[in-house]
Copies of this chain bind each other. A is one copy, B any other.
Amino acid sequence: MPDTINEWAEKVLAGNRRAVARAISAVENGDAAAVALLKRVFPSSGRAQVVGITGSPGVGKSTLVEKLAADYRRSGLRVGIIAVDPTSPFSGGAILGDRIRMQSLSGDDGVYIRSMATRGQLGGLAPTTQDVVTMLDAAGCDVVLIETVGVGQDEVEVARLADTTVLLLVPGMGDDVQTFKAGVMEIADLYVINKADRGGAERVEQEVTAMLSLAARPDGWRPPIVKTVATSGEGIAALRQALEQFRAFGEKDGLKQQRRREHWRARLLELLRQTLFKKVAGELLRHGLLDSHVEEVLAQRRDPHSLVEEMVAEFASPGRKRKSPKR
């Protein structure tokens, strides 16, 4: 017999892996149960530190995330990992499966890994990403690492969602700071120069330092630059220390709360947009009204703007149907 929502929620809150995995799938598939579950577990969320890790393809994000997660595990912390993969144009799913990722973490009960597809071929986080974070958070993860592919809008989106944003650079990839996508350099709270054993790491560091010296952040934080060699684990301890410093800084004078406030503000508006539309469009389709409206526009009898205003007014005061203009 399947669990009731309450039983399912209890299992999620207890960190039961199967229950968490099913809950995340329910969120991704837009099941009605997911919303019921989210309502139940939400009060127990908000504790996890959410870290976004971004950078161009090939800079070694997955390896760094794997090593960082292992380091957190050694301190006894529970870790959730969301790996955002570009949507495959063929399957509609994520290209890299959870299974082939981060092999060294497999079999560890304190690590939850989930691959998520991007919103489309052009990148961007799936709209359900926050709900997946909430599930992992409520399931007792102390840290949620979100690895994004660095395509399209996703760096900016992950920076909005995360408490801390880490930007990975590597020497000699033509990723000169000067040519970096506009707006991406500025979103990072921490810079990592990975593959720092390669020549050119100093040059990248100088470029980032020069860029950072151009303008002080309004919050007063001076983003540190950490050099790592993720494959060997070099620099991972320094990265954790830098992450901890930023966490402490953010909690001291309300910066973290302010970021979360801005995030929730945007998230509530987005959820409102989706929910409103789903409800109104659903009613239109159920009553077959959309088709008749389309025919009126097609026949040039009604203009789309008046029609839509009328639909919105009808929704806002149901039953009080407005007089139809003469045909």
Q: Which positions in A face B, CB cutoff 8 Å?
A: 35, 38-39, 42-43, 45-46, 89, 122, 152-153, 182, 257, 260-261, 264-265, 267-269, 271-273, 275-277, 279-281, 284, 290-291, 293-295, 297-298, 300-301, 303-309, 311-312, 315-318
Cβ B43 vs Cβ A304 within 8 A: no
Specify which chain B residues have a CB less than 8 angstroms from the CB of A309 in the assembled complex. Answer: 275
Given contacts A42-B300, A279-B316, 16 further A-B pairs with CB under 8 A are A38-B305, A43-B300, A43-B303, A46-B300, A89-B182, A122-B122, A257-B298, A260-B298, A264-B304, A268-B294, A268-B297, A269-B277, A275-B312, A276-B277, A276-B315, A277-B277
B residues near A311, Cβ cutoff 8 Å: 272
CB distance from A82 to the nearest CB of B (A): 18
Copies of this chain, how many? 2
Q: Which residues of B contact A39 (CB under 8 A)?
A: 303, 305-306
Closest chain B residue, CB of each to CB of A40: B303
User: Can you list 9 A-B contacts (CB < 8 A)?
Assistant: A42-B303, A43-B303, A265-B290, A267-B304, A268-B297, A273-B277, A276-B312, A315-B315, A317-B318
- The answer to whether residues A275 and B308 also contact, given A39-B303, A42-B303, A298-B260 and a CB cut-off of 8 A, is yes
Main secondary structure of the interface of A (DSSP, over half): helix
Which B residue sits closest to A307, measured CB to CB?
B268
CB distance from A165 to the nearest CB of B (A): 19
B312–A264 touching, CB < 8 Å: no
Instruction: For the complex formed, measure the closest distance between the CB of A267 and the CB atoms of chain B, giving whole angstroms.
Output: 6
Give the docked Cα–Cα distance between A98 and B38 (Å).
Answer: 51
The complex places the Cα of A38 from the Cα of B303 at a distance, in Å, of 8
- A279's partner among B35, B153, B312 (CB-CB below 8 A) is B312
- Which of the residues B272, B293, B301 comes within 8 Å of A280, measured between beta carbons? B272
Sort A-B residue pairs by CB-CB distance and give the 5 closest, nearest first: A42-B303, A273-B277, A271-B308, A46-B300, A276-B276
CB contact under 8 A between A268 and B308, given known A315-B276, A316-B315: yes
Instruction: Report the minimal beta-carbon distance from A322 to chain B, rounded to whole angstroms.
Output: 15
Q: For the complex formed, measure the closest distance between the CB of A204 and the CB atoms of chain B, giving whole angstroms.
A: 23
In angstroms, Cα B260 to Cα A295, docked, is 10
Contact B281 A272, beta carbon cutoff 8 Å: yes
Q: Given the complex of chains A and B, what is the CA–CA distance between A308 and B131 in angstroms?
A: 14
In contact, A298 and B264 (Cβ under 8 angstroms) = yes
Cα distance A306–B36 in the bound complex, in angstroms? 9
Decide if B304 touches A271 in the complex (CB within 8 Å).
yes
**Chain B residues near A46 (CB, 8 Å)?**
300
